[in-house]
Amino acid sequence: MTKQISIIIITGFFFLLSLSALRAQAQQPVNPMQVESWILNAGMGFGQIYDVDGSLPSGFAFKLALQRGFWEAGPGVIALGLETGMVFNSTTIGAYTARFTKFNIAPRAGWHCGWDVPGLDTYAGVAMGIGFLSQTDVDTRLRFHGSAYIGGSYFFNEHFGVNLETGFGTTFIQVGVAYKF
C-alpha cells in the first residue's frame, strides 16, 4: 500500500506541475463545461473490486466517461452522461491464483465548476449501474455498480486537456486525458 501511495503522490505532483507550467499559455473559455458542451475523459490507474469475498490487492483499472452539460446550477453546470471501465485484480493462495475482472457500465451525473480559472474544470458526482464480475473457474456474475467521484481537468486549449479523478468505484485514482467537443 505504501508503494501505491507514493505513486499517487508523485503522479499528483507532476499533474500539478504541468498545470502551473502551461496555465500561462492556455487560450480557452473560463469554464470548459458549459450547457450543451460534451467532455470525454479517458484514464487509467488503480482500482479495487469491492464486491468479492475477502480483500483483494489493488489492480490495474481504466475508465471512460462521457458527459454533456444540461443545466446551469449556481456557478457551475449539471452534466449527465455514461461511464464504463474495467478493473483487473488477482490474488494467490498457496499454489492457486485467482484472477478477477469486473466490467462496469453506468449512467453518471455530476456538477462541474471552473472557479473562474481559465481551462480548469472541477467536478463531483455519482454513477449507478451494472457490473459484470468474472473470476477464475467461476461463472460471470451480474453485480450492482455504484460510484462516487471527484476530479478535475485542465484544458491546454479549447478541446484538449489532462484529467485526474479519485473516488470509490471503478478506479480509486486515475490519470488521463480530457477532450471537449
Rg (CA), the chain: 17
Hey, how many other C-beta atoms are within 10 angstroms of the C-beta on 105?
15
pLDDT tens profile 26-73: 455 567 999 999 999 999 999 877 666 556 667 899 999 999 999 999
pLDDT band at 155 (very low <50, low <70, confident <90, very high): very high
Number of domains forming the structure of the chain:
1
* HEC readout, 122-147: EEEEEEEEEEEEEECCEEEEEEEEEE
pLDDT reported for residue 135: 84
Per the CB < 8 A criterion, the answer to whether 111 and 124 are in contact is yes
pLDDT tens profile 65-107: 999 999 999 889 999 999 999 999 888 878 888 888 989 999 9
pLDDT tens profile 99-134: 889 899 999 999 999 888 899 999 999 999 999 988
The phi and psi torsions of 35 (rounded to 5 degrees) equal -60, 135
pTM above 0.75, yes or no: yes
Residue range of the domain that includes 129: 2-180
CATH of the domain at 127: 2.40.160.20
